[in-house]
Chain A
Amino acid sequence: MKRSLLTGLAAGWLALPMTAGADTPDDLQTLKRELAALKASYEARIGALEARIKAADTPPPASLGHHTTPTPMAPTPSNNAFNPAVSLVLQGAVSSYRRDPAAWTLPGFQMGRESGLKQEGFSLTETELTLSANVDDWFYGQSTLGLHEEDGTSVIEVEEAYLDTLSLPAGLAMRMGRFFSETGYLNTRHPHVWDFADAPLTSQAFLGKQYGDDGVRLTWLAPTDTYIQLGAELLAGKKFPGGGDNRRLLGDNRNLFVRVGSDIGRHQSVRIGLSHLRGSPTDRRSGDPHAEGGNEIFSFDGDSKLTAIDLVYKYQPSNRRGFVLQGEYFHRDEDGVINFSNAIGGALLPYAGTQQGFYVQGVLALQPRWRVGLRYDRLWSDNRLAVRNNTSGESGATLLDESNLLGDHDPYRWTLMTDYSRSDFSRIRLQYARDYSRPGAADDQFQLQYIMTLGAHGAHQY
């Protein structure tokens, strides 16, 4: 790249004096003579070439069109040679549900606002635009803008916008900006690389589908053949599972994580992770669809601790065939008070809870382009809740019920998917889920989805 630019500049610089100096008659004469000389030299060379062509009378069949013509090493210099890598992910789906997706809840869990199911029928789930480049020899920058619909209008959301350091010594690296937190395994992965068309119930319940926040991350990679990564994140804590108007200098959420990985023989590899996220959300509102017309608000003040264990195992006997087993377990402890308010008054709901959940999934690639996957999700909770200072005009029992924290039903779900990838850049997926998230009859959920990548080749994250 450098060389090509230099060559280009040099060529331009050499060409300059000739064109710029061609004003006077004297120079014109010189130019004419030079042109004549050039013409003569070309004619001579063409003659020589014709002779050589006659001599070498073994032409490869031209009809087949596979010529191996040597081309110069340097690509043509251009102004946008330094532009960042751009990739645009197009995603769309058509979904069908037996039960009303708008009334979907997870009993025992107050979910973040982003949680929920895709709308029924056709939908552009999300269009992601990612730009990335090395800023200089110290920093790498990347930003992902998500375009999606919210209440009928298109919204641009800065999903990620961060800088990574490139030159810190001793295996250290820092990330700053907005990024997905290293909580569990799937949380740092963009939806277009997920193996299923929707998030696991654990992500829906514990992370508001996907937890990204503003802050800094420091990681250290051990100088060992076994992959050992330690990391710490300081996050603003403005988004679920954090919440509220946090103005603390170093943020409100703290996340610590460790990842250990290794190969097992030639074809198998494994990665195990442990993370612990804690914070003290204030006024964390849940996106509860039962909050009638937005008049009823449940907001949480207190302490929240989320521990996650994740495991990924890959068996890859050849490059395009293999099996991936992946699972995550989450454990959350919360202690505090839920403030309820409506048009009439309010109430205090002292609350202490323990919520847990896991999913485990297997994805099998038997044919190079086809994959099939099976996933099982389960959540359960143990919440203690009371009603105090009730001036809302609603009965205590109703409030307890509407808080959605009474987990008398444990949500679970089975999901089956198959997808086809024509190339590394396209994927079409069909998914069926039998969802027992809500009490009562099972929900049959069908999704047909496409994920297409335009532009830069995204790297295959492990």
Chain B
Amino acid sequence: MKRFHVLTLIGLLLAGLTNTASAQLRVFACEPEWQALIQAVGGDHVDAWSATTAEDDAHHVQARPSLIAKLRRADLLVCTGAELETAWLPLLLRRANNPAVQPGQPGYLMAAEQVERLEIPTRLDRSDGDVHAQGNPHIQLDPRRLMTVAQVLAQRLSAIDPAHAANYAANLAAFSTRWQTAVTGWTDRAAPLRGQGLVVQHTEWVYMLDWLGMYRVAALEPKPGLPPSAAHLASLTQRLDKDAAMAIVRAPDNDPRPAQWLSEHIGIPVLILPHTVEADAGPAGLFALFDELIGRLVALAARR
């Protein structure tokens, strides 16, 4: 009898610890853009946290103890997928002892798997660099694809937390209206960019190019994920001239030297563009991201 009491007590204690009675859904986002999108759709009913910031390279993250502890308590996991997080996410999932966010559960959502992907390789060979069998994972730079992910997110949140399904639907509707208006505005402003070419450092801009009707002239990385080499840069100076592209685009966290070097040699300006939202910027960060992207590109196009 006494033993029974002790067991009950332990059980209650464990239950208490696990459900620390927070009404909010805990969401583990791998990248800040998904954190912002979840906040847009989930509103006050979610507590979203991002494992990486704009400064991090989501390919190379350590499966740190703190990340495991965070995932342990998550109700929903939202990542890019398409093998972007393949170096650390599988390990987190196995270590977090959390059945709710395992693949196949409603609590497991890979954004890139919800949309049409580009650059799906026809040949899988590691000598081609850091290739992703499921296509280019950097889908966050196309606002149309983001909207699709927002819709799926609303469905998932409703499935996990049916009590607030109406809230999620309302949030989605409100976000959708604002987003569509914004996208129309961006697309109109970006009209002069149509048909223009860019030299890029890494291949993460493809969805933005696809959206804006632009194209990639060349990449500074000889192969995706491999650092720009002197030989490859030299070959680019042979192939490209001043009019070959509008700009050399790199992300703030890229090594600045290769783009600078090429710019000095062929006379194309370097343009630093953000590729995700700032940490904890919330839904406003998503609007700010595309405002900035379009603003910088259009300003440069006007100067030419």
Interface residues of A (CB under 8 A from B): 58, 60-61, 64, 66, 68-73, 75, 134, 137, 140, 164, 166-173, 219-228, 259-263, 266, 269, 271, 314, 316, 318-320, 368-369, 423-425, 457, 459-462
Are the CB atoms of B73 and A423 closer together than 8 Å? no
Q: CA of A395 to CA of B253 in the docked complex: distance in angstroms?
A: 70
Q: A164-B94, A168-B99, A223-B18 are in contact. Are A66 and B218 (CB under 8 A)?
A: yes
Once A61-B217, A134-B103, A457-B86 are accepted as A-B contacts, the answer to whether A226 and B69 lie under 8 Å apart by CB is: yes
- B68-A423 in contact (CB<8A): no
Cβ A170 vs Cβ B18 within 8 A:
yes
Task: Determine whether the beta carbon of B97 is less than 8 Å from that of A172.
Answer: yes
B-chain residues with CB within 8 Å of residue A72 when the two chains form the complex: 116
Contact of A460 among B83, B87, B206 (CB under 8 A): B87
A212: shortest Cβ distance to chain B, in Å? 18
| Contact of B60 with A320 in the complex, beta carbons under 8 Å | yes
Query: A68 with B87: in contact, given A269-B66, A316-B62, A319-B61 (CB under 8 Å)?
Result: no
State A64–B102 Cα separation when bound (angstroms).
Answer: 41
Using A225-B70, A460-B87 as known contacts, say yes or no to A69 and B65 having CB atoms under 8 A apart: no
Q: Are B103 and A221 in contact (CB under 8 A)?
A: no
Closest to A269 in B: B64
Name the residue of chain A whose CB is nearest to the CB of B66. A263
Give A73 to B216 CA distance when docked, in angstroms.
22
Roughly how many angstroms separate A263 CA and B69 CA in the complex, as a whole number? Answer: 11
- Chain B interface mostly helix, strand, loop or mixed? loop
Contacts of B20 in A (CB 8 A): 223
Q: Are A459 and B97 interface neighbours, CB within 8 A?
A: no
In the complex the two chains form, is A423's CB within 8 Å of B225's CB? yes
Instruction: Give complex CA distance A69, B253 in Å.
Output: 28
Complex CA–CA separation, A460 to B68 (angstroms): 13
**Contacts of B120-140 to chain A: CB distance below 8 A:** 120, 126, 129-130, 133-135
B7 at the A interface (CB under 8 A)? no
By a CB distance below 8 angstroms, the chain A residues around B218 are 64, 66
Are B65 and A259 in touch, CB under 8 angstroms? yes
Q: Which chain B residues numbered 39 to 59 have a C-beta less than 8 Å away from chain A?
A: 53, 55-57, 59
Min C-beta distance of B283 to chain A, whole Å: 23
Contacts of B56 in A (CB 8 A): 319
A462 to B66, CA, bound (A): 11
Contact A171 B215 (CB under 8 A): no
Given that A66-B215, A71-B135, A459-B87 are known contacts, is A167 also in contact with B99, CB under 8 Å in the complex? yes
- Which residue from chain A places its CB closest to the CB of B255 in the assembled complex? A368
Would you give the shortest CB distance from B109 to chain A, in whole angstroms?
15
A227 contacts B68, C-beta separation under 8 Å: yes
In the bound complex, do residue A461 and residue B66 qualify as a contact, i.e. CB atoms below 8 Å apart? Answer: no
Knowing A134-B103, A167-B99, A223-B18, the reply to whether A261 touches B62 (Cβ < 8 A) is no
**Residue of A with least CB distance to B103:** A134
For A316, what are the chain B residues with a Cβ–Cβ distance below 8 Å?
Answer: 62
Q: 11 A-B Cβ contacts within 8 A?
A: A66-B219, A167-B102, A171-B72, A227-B65, A261-B65, A261-B66, A316-B62, A319-B59, A459-B86, A459-B87, A462-B62
Assembly CA distance A24 to B102 (angstroms): 52
> Once the chains bind, are A68 and B210 in contact (CB under 8 Å)?
yes
Contact in complex: B216, A173 (CB < 8 Å): no
Chain B residues within an 8 Å CB radius of A424: 87, 130
B210, chain A: closest CB distance, angstroms: 5
- Bound Cα distance A369, B225 (Å): 12
A41 to B64, CA, bound (A): 58
C-alpha spacing A228/B70, complex, angstroms: 11
Give chain B's interface residue range (CB within 8 Å of chain A).
35 or more
Contacts of B133 in A (CB 8 A): 75
A166, A167, A222: most-surrounded residue (chain B CB, <10 A)? A166
CB contact under 8 A between A68 and B66, given known A168-B97, A460-B87: no
- Residues of B with C-beta under 8 A to A423: 126, 129-130, 225-226
A60 and B206 alpha carbons, distance in the complex (Å): 14
CA distance A225 to B66 in the complex (A): 7
How far apart are the CA atoms of A58 and B53 in the complex, in Å?
Answer: 38
Given known contacts A319-B61, A460-B63, is B97 in contact with A219 (CB within 8 Å)?
A: yes
With A134-B103, A223-B72, A460-B62 as given contacts, are A60 and B18 in contact (CB-CB < 8 Å)?
no
User: Are A459 and B91 interface neighbours, CB within 8 A?
Assistant: yes
Verify A170–B14 contact, CB threshold 8 A. yes
Asked if B187 is an interface residue, CB under 8 A from chain A, the answer is no
In the assembled complex, which residues on chain B have CB atoms less than 8 Å from the CB atom of A137? 102, 104
A61 to B97 CA separation, bound complex (whole angstroms) = 51
Contact with A along B199-236 (1 / 0, CB 8 A): 00000001001100001111100000111000000000
Chain B residues with Cβ under 8 A from A171's Cβ? 18, 72, 97-98
Chain A residues lying within 8 Å of B99, measured Cβ to Cβ, are 166-169
Whole-angstrom CA separation of A172 from B218 in the bound complex: 50
- A269 interface neighbour in B62, B113, B117, Cβ under 8 Å: B62
Contact B116 A70 (CB under 8 A): yes
Query: 9 other contacts beyond A260-B65, A423-B225, with CB at 8 A cut-off?
Result: A61-B217, A68-B215, A69-B118, A168-B99, A173-B97, A262-B66, A319-B253, A459-B86, A461-B63
C-alpha gap A73/B227 in the complex (Å): 29
Listed from nearest, the 6 A-B pairs whose CB atoms lie closest are A261-B65, A227-B65, A459-B91, A227-B69, A167-B99, A319-B60
Chain B neighbourhood of A68, CB < 8 A: 118-119, 206, 209-210, 215-216
A263's closest neighbor in chain B, by CB?
B66
The smallest beta-carbon distance between B114 and chain A, in angstroms, is: 9
| Chain A proximity of B214: nearest CB distance (Å) | 9
In the complex, the chain A residue whose C-beta lies closest to that of B85 is A459
B233 to chain A, nearest CB (A): 16
User: Residue among A221, A224, A271, A368 with the most chain B CB within 10 A?
Assistant: A221
Give Cα A263–Cα B115 distance, bound, in whole angstroms.
Answer: 34
A114 to B73, CA, bound (A): 41
Assuming the A-B contacts A75-B134, A171-B97, A424-B87, are A262 and B17 also in contact, with contact meaning beta carbons closer than 8 angstroms in the complex?
Answer: no
Q: How far is the CB of B162 from the nearest CB of chain A, in Å?
A: 21
The distance in angstroms between the C-alpha atoms of A134 and B95, with both chains bound, is: 14
Say yes or no for B197: interface residue by CB 8 A criterion.
yes
B96 interfacial by beta-carbon distance below 8 Å: yes
Say whether B88 contacts A459, CB under 8 Å. yes
Whole-angstrom CA separation of A260 from B64 in the bound complex: 11
A176 to B65 CA separation, bound complex (whole angstroms):
23
B217 A263 Cβ-Cβ under 8 A: no
What is the 8 Å Cβ interface bit string for chain B, positions 153-169, against chain A (1 contact, 0 not)? 00000000000000000
Q: B90 interface residue, CB < 8 Å from A?
A: yes
Residues of A within 8 A of B130 (CB): 423-424
Which of A58, A166, A169, A225 interacts with B69 by CB under 8 Å?
Answer: A225
| A10 to B185 alpha-carbon distance, docked (Å) | 41
Q: Are A269 and B65 in contact (CB under 8 A)?
A: yes
Residues of A within 8 A of B17 (CB): 222-223
Q: Identify the closest chain A residue to B210 (Cβ).
A: A68
